[in-house]
Structure 1
Amino acid sequence: MSLKDRYTLGRFPLAHKGMGEVWPARDTQLDRAVIVKFVSTARLNADLMRRLRREALLTARLDHPGVPAVYDFDQHAGLPYVVLQKVRGITLADLVAEQGPLPFQWVAAIGAQISSVLLAAGQIGLVHRDIKPSNVMLDPSGAVKVLDFGLAVVRNDDRYSRITETGQALGTVGYMAPEQILGEPSDHRTDLYGLGATLFDLLTGRPPFDGVTTTTTLRHQLDDPPPRPAQLRPGIPDDLDDLVHALLSVDPRGRPATAADVYRVLAPLSHDLPPIPGVLTDAAEAVRAYAAIVGRVPQQTRPTARTPAEPNALDMDLAARRAEQLHAAGQYRAAARQWRHLVDQRVRRHGDDDPLVFDFRLRIAGAHSALGEHSRALRQLQQLLEDRVRADGPEHPAVLHLRQEVANLSARHRPSGRTPSADR
């Protein structure tokens, strides 16, 4: 079949996805492979036709290398269709099914690229609402493409109002955020939850919530504490384990504030990418593709110049107060994350031995202790004690105080009989 005497469809569809059919095709005018997405004739109705048009408009608005380009939108015999860039590669769902859990460096590199897409989406108020492994593809060069904006919404824009079918779930069980399950409004943190569930899947080879039935899965998502990938796969870096745990917070306020915050954790872990046989063409090429796609994005989301010292000091003071408020409210994970960010800022300006760096590190350990992660808090206190002795000597009052903190925490932790790995 030919569309507009330009697009020649293949003999068979690639898949039936959601509301329609996906066909391979060739753009004879530009001599390139494309994808054509139709509304299924068996399910054709006015709502689905509007929804396909809406998906095309939203995808076209999101000009980012991590999103397939939209080439055309039209109708054929009364059926609307959209012509999209053909993406080579494999979905993350198929990748995990074939390879099992991925190297954590690749999980970080993939997650950083998805974060860059979410950053761009946030700039136009777009919420995808269906981030999951089957909606993300990995190109043979290591580049990521986020697919299927059929459930996306744009905040405060009536042109892209919610369009659904009767009885259709707004998301995918096990990956959609609790606020989606409850029918509450979605924002950018909804996509961060989907990203967290996706990273958990890539790290462990299974979704974070997987009940016997849909109802039990949803109940686990709403009622159970977020799982930690390190419980299933020891050896995951603490920062990555913490990030995934925070992304899966039931309360959106417990998740990272923005995709930029997620990127800042993932990007440093995306080094020394190992080969993935049969999937990637070349690891070095993958590194270059990754750098080209995500390296520039976070810098575009914030001002690059902050020359006066006074405003920066004021911002740090406000951030420290915010961390205190989070801790006082029992949001220990978010408080620890805020203090860790303050440590990074302070070290860059004043060095490792700055008194406030020691103070923030002590507060981070206290937050992990409050979370019940005693062995981790103890490791942090012991490292802090070593650094403080080196900087101030063994008899400094702060050193003596730290020795007492270490002794107290050791005494509280010893009777529990738990091993350090249990708190990871």
Structure 2
Amino acid sequence: MLGFVVPGTSVKDRYMLGRFPLPHRGMGEVWPARDTLLDRPVIVKFIDASVIDLDLVRRFRREALLTARLSHPGVPAVYDLGEYTGQPYVVLQKINGIALNDLVAEQGPLPIGWVAAIGAQISSVLIAAGRLGLVHRDIKPSNVMLETSGAVKVLDFGLAAVPDDERYSRITQSGQSLGTVGYMAPEQIRGEDTDHRTDLYGLGATLFDLLTGSPPFDGATTLTTVRHQLGTPPPRPTELRPQIPAVLDDLVHALLASRPKDRPAPAAEVYATLAPLVQDLPPLPGVIDDTDEAVQAYAAIVGRVPQQPRSRTTPTDERAGLALEQALRHAEHMQAAGHFRAAARQWRRLAEDHARRHGDEDPVVFDLRRRAARAHIALGERDRALRQLNTLLQSRIRVDGPEHDAVLDLRQEIARLSGESTDSPPVPRDSHDADR
């Protein structure tokens, strides 16, 4: 124990420690405190440099620097770093929530919507980490917290790797395992190179745990668990919980693939699969009792980022394609029946949904937005249609250049529409469209 740290200690004449340290498994202590300068609660994390080796001190500082470098709502903010009477400390944002391993221990397997909400938020953190070339290497339930707002925080970047960056070079491990058995990827177990797909394996194991209440590989001993991970096919969560949606079952199974190349990539693809499943979020007694629209919306979209086009066809792609075709037919039926405004809304909704999965530059998104604009022509709203088409034109020029066939065709349509009268009466509409 850190005998020099006593309740009420004022660190740096600013951080006033609380009455008792928090439960903590590592070497050192974690204290609740108050930042007296900014009048806010914080966490002060110490390590005792007198009883641990220099490698762990380096890891401690390195973790603080990496966490500070990754600015994202799903990562605790780092407020300060220093020493108190020779002992390193870091001041962190206070997280008002519960670790996922404790959540599952208390609640059992989580509702599907919450599993998707948590997984989507972790994915968004991995997307941000990937932009920095950062690999966490220890994604597991105990390193993720769910706040009372429904937001997720990913903790403990002490094992993170940043390839080709000497400031965050790999530290000597002093016999420590690079990861956690049962959650770390096979390439970690073998001591091979790691990349963003390593974290996707940890995410898959975490999702399996949240869905079933148990880890995917859980032998009687560490050696048995490792043998299962390396020598047996990954399990499916539906083996323990048959009602799990097929798309989620397929995703978790793919994330747990032994070979990195067989896992979904990038993390944006995982996010795009999970985000649509975030719905029907019931209360989690004692953790999230308030499930009003604001909490549910925050859990669903925090960390949302533009998605990249998928590079390969998956079962998820096929299901999404079928759903899109059905929605397109529905919109076409509405337009054919004279429900032009409802059809325009449907085209726009489909465009935004498709853009979240495949990016704004996808040709399908262009076609859907063009259809939405055209629907306003039938309503006699040519000025509105022209504004939307001109915005779409500028977007396509940036993507395809001024001489692309799609750009030239759109220019001609705009020219024809601009030459027509903008004050012609609208076509007849039914009563449902008339008041919208």
TM-score, length basis structure 1: 0.72
| CA distance in 2 between partners of 1:88 and 1:220 (Å) | 36
Read off the aligned partner of 1:289 and give its amino acid letter. Y
1:51 matched to 2:54: no
What RMSD over aligned residues (CA atoms) do the two structures have, in Å?
Answer: 2.2
1:263 matched to 2:271: yes
Give the alignment of 1:34-45 within 5 angstroms: 34-41=42-49, 43-45=51-53
Give the alignment of 1:194-213 within 5 angstroms: 194-213=202-221
Displacement, 1:39?
1.6
Equivalent position of 1:11 in the other structure: 19
Give the alignment of 1:263-302 within 5 angstroms: 263-284=271-292, 285-294=294-303, 296-297=304-305, 299=306, 302=308
Read off the aligned partner of 1:293 and give its amino acid letter. V
Structure 1 contact 64–120 (Cα < 8 Å) conserved: yes
Pick from 68, 72, 76: which aligns with 2:76? 68
Pick from 78, 84, 90: which aligns with 2:86? 78
Equivalent position of 1:141 in the other structure: 149
| CA distance in 2 between partners of 1:211 and 1:95 (Å) | 22
Deviations 1:378-405 (A, max 9, x none): xxxxxxxxxxxxxxxxxxxxxxxxxxxx
Displacement, 1:347?
4.0
Q: Percent identity among equivalent residues?
A: 68
Structure 2 contact 117–300 (Cα < 8 Å) conserved: no
Read off the aligned partner of 1:287 and give its amino acid letter. Q
Read off the aligned partner of 1:200 and give its amino acid letter. F
Structure 2 contact 278–300 (Cα < 8 Å) conserved: no
Equivalent position of 2:163 in the other structure: 155
Displacement, 1:345?
10
| CA distance in 1 between partners of 2:185 and 2:26 (Å) | 19
Pick from 19, 35, 38: which aligns with 1:30? 38
Displacement, 1:287?
1.0
1:344–1:76 CA distance, 2 compared to 1 (3 A): farther
1:292–1:243 CA distance, 2 compared to 1 (3 A): closer
Give the alignment of 1:185-196 within 5 angstroms: 185-196=193-204
More helix by share: 1
1:190–1:210 CA distance, 2 compared to 1 (3 A): same
Displacement, 1:42?
5.9
Say which SS state the counterpart of residue 15 (structure 1) adopts. Answer: coil
Read off the aligned partner of 2:98 and give its amino acid letter. I
Deviations 1:63-107 (A, max 9, x none): 111110000001111111110000001111111000100011110
| CA distance in 1 between partners of 2:277 and 2:300 (Å) | 13
| CA distance in 2 between partners of 1:140 and 1:166 (Å) | 37
Pick from 191, 196, 212: which aligns with 1:183? 191
Displacement, 1:26?
1.2
Unmatched tracts of structure 1, length 5 or more? 303-314, 324-334, 353-424
**Number of residue-to-residue matches in the alignment:** 321
Read off the aligned partner of 1:282 and give its amino acid letter. D
Pick from 88, 98, 102: which aligns with 2:106? 98
Equivalent position of 2:238 in the other structure: 230
Greater shift, 107-116 or 272-281, is seen at: 272-281
Deviations 1:305-329 (A, max 9, x none): xxxxxxxxxx99xx5xx65xxxxxx
1:232–1:165 CA distance, 2 compared to 1 (3 A): same
Displacement, 1:149?
0.7
Displacement, 1:40?
3.1
1:18–1:187 CA distance, 2 compared to 1 (3 A): farther
Displacement, 1:189?
0.6
Query: Which 4+ runs in 1 deviate beyond 6 A?
Result: 348-352
| CA distance in 2 between partners of 1:204 and 1:264 (Å) | 22
1:216 matched to 2:224: yes
Larger Rg: 2
Say which SS state the counterpart of residue 90 (structure 1) adopts. Answer: strand
Pick from 242, 247, 256: which aligns with 2:255? 247
Deviations 1:225-282 (A, max 9, x none): 0000000011000000000000001101111011111111111110121111221041
Structure 1 contact 211–220 (Cα < 8 Å) conserved: yes
Displacement, 1:52?
1.1
TM-score, length basis structure 2: 0.70
Read off the aligned partner of 1:21 and give its amino acid letter. E
Equivalent position of 1:117 in the other structure: 125
1:237–1:12 CA distance, 2 compared to 1 (3 A): same
Displacement, 1:157?
0.8
Deviations 1:335-393 (A, max 9, x none): 5456556x3698499869xxxxxxxxxxxxxxxxxxxxxxxxxxxxxxxxxxxxxxxxx
1:122–1:345 CA distance, 2 compared to 1 (3 A): farther
| CA distance in 1 between partners of 2:316 and 2:281 (Å) | 26
